[in-house]
Structure 1
Amino acid sequence: MGSGTSGGEGEHINRVSVRSLDGECGIRIDDRIERRHCEIRTDRPSDPTPADETQFRYPVDTAVQLTAGRLTFEGFSRTFVHDGPDVTEVEYFESVSFDDGHYTLELSGPVKLYVELEGAIDVQTTVTEMDVSLSEAASVRIGARSYHEQPAATVTTTDDPVDVMAAVSTFGSAMKTTGSERSYPTLRGHPPTLQRGSSLSVPNGLQPPETDVHIEVPESLFETLAVAPLAYYLGAEVVPGPDPQLVVDGEPFSLEGDGGFERTVERTLKRTFFLDCVVRTAGPRSIPLYERRAVESSLDIDLSDLYGRSGAERLAAYNTVDYDAISSFVPTWKLTAHVDPVGSSLEVLPFLVDDLAVVRSPSQLSVAGDDPFAQNADPFEASTPDDGEFVRSTTRSPSDSSATPNQHVQPDQTDSLEQTWVGEGTPLGASKAIPEAFRNRLDREPRDGDIEIVVVCNDEEMLEERDVAAEVYGSREEFPIDVTFYEDLTTDRLALVLESDVDFFHYIGHVDEGGFECSDGLLDADSVGNIDLDIFFLNACRSYRQGRRLIEKGAISGVVTLDDVINSGAVRIGKTLAKLLNYGFPLRSALNIARERSIVGTQYLVIGDGNADIAQTQSGVPVLGTVSSANGEYEVTLDTFTTSGFGIGSQFRPAIEGNEMVYLCPGTLPTFEVRESALERYFSTGVFPVLLDGEFTWTDRLRSDN
């Protein structure tokens, strides 16, 4: 049951499905593309029947109707009750009663839900679930929407900068609103994809919205690529001009301020986005946003008055705000992309723009010498007995491209959570974006069933990592994961695994210049047919080449190594990464955290689409806690991350005793001071990583019930 529209050139696919729960009263809703699910329990057997999707006030992919007197929702972080134009947020541990009327419940979780019901209702929430009781059993309509965004069309462009400007000008057509609510990730659609051709071709319907805003830049790819995310967010056309400038209702604002062109574009994007996040709280949803309360009194603009104004009016007001006055409250930016301004980078651009990435022309440091990682090595730690032997100690010349990438480059680090590299060479300290990976993601078909994970251990000296994987993957009772383990596979059997429809492939063993080391020889990924697996982790020495081939033949993303890695370091990385992925961290963020756990962390990198993940989070957004203790009191600092469903501009309220504030994501929240009992209650709300007095651990290990 269920139907949905992909948004891609009229193609219809069944991407959200609904079915009755097995052995329980209620329904299960599956997002078959993002591989997310949620369950709604009811007080009586449910026989859901299709409902009219157009009757909901917001767009949904599928809708059903059922009869219930009580519904219980698990895993939803925010709950709003719409009563006509009035909107009420139900807080954690709150019970609210509503008189007889027509209501729409809006819930944010693994999928977006809208629940239409009539009558008097009581709504009661905890951290983990929400109960809705009706005065009497009645018909209830439930609509579900996937967070998945599919590009509406493909624009063909030449490498000529003027053609690229025209192509970038179509990106704003994907925005679902020009109001301040565009700062919500669910109201930012995916921009059209780009392909290179002999002439410019723009499909109908991709014109930017009428905004009275345009951007002028010189005729070069450098400036055009840099302003692409800003043009997308503003719904602005990009046109040739002698100097970079933002033109708002006829008034020019220079894009060459202090710090230069790229820095000014970055600040303009961040300031506009942040102030939109603040202004949107002046709407019908009364949200206690921490960032608004922190900056409102120091601003010379009336935030409430700006709500509902046109994009040009808001932007003109925003441009009067000194960026330094708000910079400490702007969300930590998710991604900085170092993009070589050449034609081969164009296909990746829409996916960077979809992330609202800061786009910079790469300033690179080529790393010379036999060991590109020597500058990061710690000679004392590397010599300790715990480090063991190298997984693979055979030495090779760095000029041998089959053994290691030809050119290592080190992009300038920024204050973004993540860095990615688009261009020739292999980056240190950043992921490697590969065009084929994004195309492969778009080509994926909806799938039913549990998340499929395959773990292959072809090295008996690394069985510890296999054992940890067996303990971690599938350990969440509320989340269906099917895990299969293999040891000492032959080349033929490993080839079958690589060609299988697998969500995640975790390889533990050796990789030689000829391929994966198997019990009967080497398997080169070049010899394998089409790759159907999505994400992989090749925890082996010098696995970059094989991982690159997996993506070129069909995979979406993976973690690989650039050089030899020592056994203990590889196991430590593997253990940490496995649990982070199991609890919903995207690949790029997970590796950034896992890198800090081992001296060999710099030798690992993500290739392909770094947003890929294998599981949904328990709290909506992934969280890393830092806790310090003193005299029975605890200071708690939380770092939030983003996912495919909860992008930059999402909101998060930690269920910490006494906290009433909502915070923008991603970023570092202000420090909370709590007693031990309150800290333990917060740890009981979910499993997430914690640095406790400098030691890396997990909340489930710190609870008194363990």
Structure 2
Amino acid sequence: MLSFEPLDTGLEVVDAVEGRRYVLDSSEPLSPEPADPDRFRFPVDSAVEVETSELRLVEPVEGFVREAAGDPVLQVSPGTRTDLPSATYSVELNAPVKLYLRVDGPLTVDATADLMTFRFDPPVLVGARSYHHHPAATVTTTDDPRDVFAAVSTLSSALKTTSPERSYPTLRGHPPLVERGDELRIPDELTAPETGVRIELPPTLRAAAVAAPLSYYLGAELVPGDDPRLVVDGDAHSLAGPPGFERNVERTLKRAFLLDCLVRTEGYYQVDLYEREQVASDVDLDFASLYDASLAERLDATLAVPFETLAPHVPRWPLVAHVDPTPEAVAVLPFVAYDLGVVRTEDARRASPDEVQSSVLDAYLGQRRGGAGDESEDDPPFVALGDADAVEQVWFGDGVPLDATKGIPAAFHNDLRRDVDPASIDITVVCNEYEMAPEQAVAETVYGSREQLPFDVTLRRDCSTDELRAILASSVDLLHYVGHVDDDGFRCRDGTLDAGTLDSTGVHAFLLNACRSYEQGVALVEAGAVGGVVTFSDVVDSGAVRVGRTLARLLNLGFPLRSALQLAAGESIVGGHYLVVGDGSVDVVQVEDGIPTLCDVETAGSEYDVTPVTYPSREAAVGTMAYPLVGSNEQHFLAPGELATFRLSEPELREYLSTHGSPVRKDGELVWDDPP
């Protein structure tokens, strides 16, 4: 649900489903009146008309101005100062809630690094579109692989276009859900696009799981066949042979996606894209012609380019999902496909105690370029996953994965059912351990420090079992628990509370900074939570405090759980004892600059090499463009991943950091403005 709330001087746009908000500032009170969304060139969910001659953005975002037909006029960036003649304009703003302004008349655009101003003749129309996508329907399938093929083939019904623009996350809708039943049932309203592409595979559950994200993105039907191959307008391309079926599917997805990202710069967003510039010199492709070509024609063109040529320019992939090819696993495929995750079924095995210790140590040392102890018979087995160049690896099988997210299918369904209160972001910090009070003190200072967001932070100390049970039953966006957990549950002043005894929980996300909190975290997800950070072994209090306070800072900046943990793990040798359970992409608050970004700074004599590193989020999934406001940069980059490296003087670096809310890693170590 989208709403427009008048302020004393401006208008607040609220997305109640996603818990996102954005303020359009004005010099006067505004009285929004409902307007027809169809008056906008691009789709909006809701619209209002306001009588004002100026709107300001005190948190500038990327913007584009277009003519009435959608043709680009200019990109709005710091330093833009333009007076446009009288016409009908559409102003697109990539804020936490997608915004559009419709202006009829002259338009003045004046943008600096910390203020963006639009002036026009009143009235102005303001339209908004939520980034949230719910599945449109549910498909039921039997365990027969041929029925599973038919179910997977419906995933692409959620695509909003088959043009190159589907590489933008906002034009890839959420696939329908898939559940098991006694017969195949596909709702009549689910219609997959006609693309001239099909994927022929041996009829197995493994083949269906591996091919699901590729089928979704290409609008390709899965059909039984003797050998795995991709058929494009009758021409067959083998998916067998080196480096193997799973890797060939992965390479095909990444190639098709990258080419769409390059070609789409011929369309509505004619920007200077760094990756296009790099690829253009290595390939013989007519991007303008390919933009108007069919999906099958573009796919043929990209398959003619060796993967090795394109691989260096593919954005860092958001997800590698390790899936057991069982009937139960079919239900997670729509969620993996929505993230364009790569599916693997072969790269997991039980880990030895030595490998567990090595993983813990690597998590600490790897960020800066004790051991986990012996595995008990009562502990769940540890699982070692293969290497993957991805932001997140998720394991959906039995056991505890090392350096990966423990995927729990219930988490994704919990997220679809959650009820967000847009009035505030509710964070509860519970400290049941005196020795870890410094972490609570930091959390008290950090959470709620962003002035533009409505935080409600509650601090609780030395809770009883009844008090903690009441907290877990309440609606909380983030529970940050500091204390001890033993075999019986959360340790409280009068005993222990086992989360496994809860019928339900209102907690959305959680950080259980306690020894061996894994089982309690899993129980919270199964009771209704979406995801959280837990430990799989004992952690030293001092190290846990360092990790906990870093996680608090990163979550407060809008980093998702998994990305926040990756960065925080390097703060202490105990960082490798932590993992995410549930959905690793869950966040607590919106990102100030739209894309979670780490500013990586390396000292270079009297100057500094600055590399912005972007991470995926709900609003900034793979395919989003980043436009770093650093130095003299005038190029866009594909996110997520490392962008270009910029050489800055000390004054230039200070100016850059002063206008961004990003965390900073200087010479391999995270540094903060506020005291620890």
TM-score band w.r.t. shorter chain: over 0.9
Partner of 1:190: 174
Partner of 2:208: 224
1:107 to 81, 93, 97: 93
Deviation at 1:248, TM superposition (A): 0.5
Structure 2 residue runs of 5 or longer lacking an equivalent are none
Deviation at 1:183, TM superposition (A): 0.4
Which runs of structure 2 are paired with 1:440-451 in the superposition (5 Å)? 440-451=414-425
1:307 to 291, 294, 298: 291
1:398 to 376, 390, 413: 376
- Tell me how far apart the structure 2 counterparts of residues 694 and 284 of structure 1 sit (CA, whole Å): 39
Deviation at 1:620, TM superposition (A): 0.8
Which runs of structure 2 are paired with 1:166-185 in the superposition (5 Å)? 166-185=150-169
8 Å contact from structure 1 (residues 18, 30) kept in 2: yes
1:390-413 residue CA offsets vs partner (Å, 9 max, x unmatched) = 9xx9x997222xxx3x21111112
Partner of 1:350: 334
Whether 2:653 is the aligned partner of 1:679: answer yes
Deviation at 1:348, TM superposition (A): 1.2
- Tell me how far apart the structure 2 counterparts of residues 377 and 105 of structure 1 sit (CA, whole Å): 49
1:589 to 544, 563, 572: 563
Whether 2:192 is the aligned partner of 1:214: answer no
Deviation at 1:560, TM superposition (A): 0.8
- Tell me how far apart the structure 2 counterparts of residues 637 and 653 of structure 1 sit (CA, whole Å): 13
Question: What amino acid is the match of 2:555?
Answer: L
- Tell me how far apart the structure 1 counterparts of residues 400 and 317 of structure 2 sit (CA, whole Å): 23
Cα gap change, 1:446 to 1:453, in 2 (>3 Å):
closer
2:388 to 389, 394, 414: 414
Secondary structure of the equivalent of 2:412?
A: helix
1:94 to 67, 80, 83: 80
8 Å contact from structure 1 (residues 499, 529) kept in 2: no
Deviation at 1:526, TM superposition (A): 2.5
Secondary structure of the equivalent of 1:190?
A: coil
1:175-231 residue CA offsets vs partner (Å, 9 max, x unmatched) = 000000000000000001111111111111212101111111101111111111010
Deviation at 1:25, TM superposition (A): 1.5
Whether 2:606 is the aligned partner of 1:657: answer no
2:243 to 232, 256, 259: 259
Deviation at 1:689, TM superposition (A): 1.8
Secondary structure of the equivalent of 1:265?
A: helix
Question: What amino acid is the match of 1:276?
Answer: D
- Tell me how far apart the structure 2 counterparts of residues 189 and 673 of structure 1 sit (CA, whole Å): 39
Instruction: Give me the CA root mean square deviation.
Output: 1.9
- Tell me how far apart the structure 2 counterparts of residues 536 and 19 of structure 1 sit (CA, whole Å): 30
2:531 to 557, 563, 581: 557
Secondary structure of the equivalent of 1:328?
A: helix
Partner of 2:265: 281
8 Å contact from structure 1 (residues 103, 118) kept in 2: yes
8 Å contact from structure 2 (residues 598, 664) kept in 1: yes
1:143-190 residue CA offsets vs partner (Å, 9 max, x unmatched) = 111101100011111121111110110011000000000000000000
Whether 2:117 is the aligned partner of 1:131: answer yes
Question: What amino acid is the match of 2:312?
Answer: S
2:126 to 142, 148, 168: 142
Cα gap change, 1:154 to 1:442, in 2 (>3 Å):
same
- Tell me how far apart the structure 2 counterparts of residues 479 and 448 of structure 1 sit (CA, whole Å): 10
Structure 1 runs (4+) greater than 6 angstroms displaced? none
8 Å contact from structure 2 (residues 49, 123) kept in 1: yes
Partner of 1:511: 485
1:358-399 residue CA offsets vs partner (Å, 9 max, x unmatched) = 111042231244x873334669x99xxxx9xx9xx9x99722
Whether 2:552 is the aligned partner of 1:578: answer yes
Whether 2:29 is the aligned partner of 1:42: answer no
Deviation at 1:654, TM superposition (A): 0.8
8 Å contact from structure 1 (residues 215, 238) kept in 2: yes
Partner of 1:374: 357
Question: What amino acid is the match of 2:538?
Answer: D
8 Å contact from structure 2 (residues 158, 175) kept in 1: yes
2:106 to 120, 130, 136: 120
8 Å contact from structure 1 (residues 38, 74) kept in 2: no
Question: What amino acid is the match of 1:263?
Answer: R
Question: What amino acid is the match of 1:621?
Answer: I
Secondary structure of the equivalent of 1:359?
A: strand
Structure 1 residue runs of 5 or longer lacking an equivalent are 1-14
Partner of 2:665: 691
Secondary structure of the equivalent of 1:334?
A: strand
8 Å contact from structure 2 (residues 508, 530) kept in 1: yes
- Tell me how far apart the structure 2 counterparts of residues 217 and 618 of structure 1 sit (CA, whole Å): 44
| TM-score relative to the length of structure 2 | 0.96
Question: What amino acid is the match of 2:626?
Answer: F
Whether 2:460 is the aligned partner of 1:486: answer yes
- Tell me how far apart the structure 2 counterparts of residues 397 and 286 of structure 1 sit (CA, whole Å): 55
Secondary structure of the equivalent of 2:439?
A: helix
Partner of 2:615: 641
Whether 2:573 is the aligned partner of 1:599: answer yes
Cα gap change, 1:377 to 1:434, in 2 (>3 Å):
closer
Whether 2:145 is the aligned partner of 1:161: answer yes
Question: What amino acid is the match of 2:640?
Answer: P
Give the number of aligned pairs.
Answer: 668
The worse-fitting range, judged by mean Cα deviation, of 464-473 and 675-684 is 675-684
Secondary structure of the equivalent of 1:159?
A: coil
1:554-591 residue CA offsets vs partner (Å, 9 max, x unmatched) = 11111111111111111111011110100010011111
Cα gap change, 1:215 to 1:131, in 2 (>3 Å):
same
1:320-356 residue CA offsets vs partner (Å, 9 max, x unmatched) = 1111112111101111111111111111111111100
- Tell me how far apart the structure 2 counterparts of residues 310 and 668 of structure 1 sit (CA, whole Å): 31
- Tell me how far apart the structure 2 counterparts of residues 248 and 618 of structure 1 sit (CA, whole Å): 42
Deviation at 1:76, TM superposition (A): 4.3
Partner of 2:59: 75
Which runs of structure 2 are paired with 1:452-531 in the superposition (5 Å)? 452-531=426-505
Question: What amino acid is the match of 2:572?
Answer: S
- Tell me how far apart the structure 2 counterparts of residues 499 and 474 of structure 1 sit (CA, whole Å): 22
Question: What amino acid is the match of 1:185?
Answer: P
Question: What amino acid is the match of 2:384?
Answer: Q
8 Å contact from structure 1 (residues 78, 107) kept in 2: yes
8 Å contact from structure 2 (residues 360, 577) kept in 1: no
- Tell me how far apart the structure 1 counterparts of residues 361 and 171 of structure 2 sit (CA, whole Å): 46
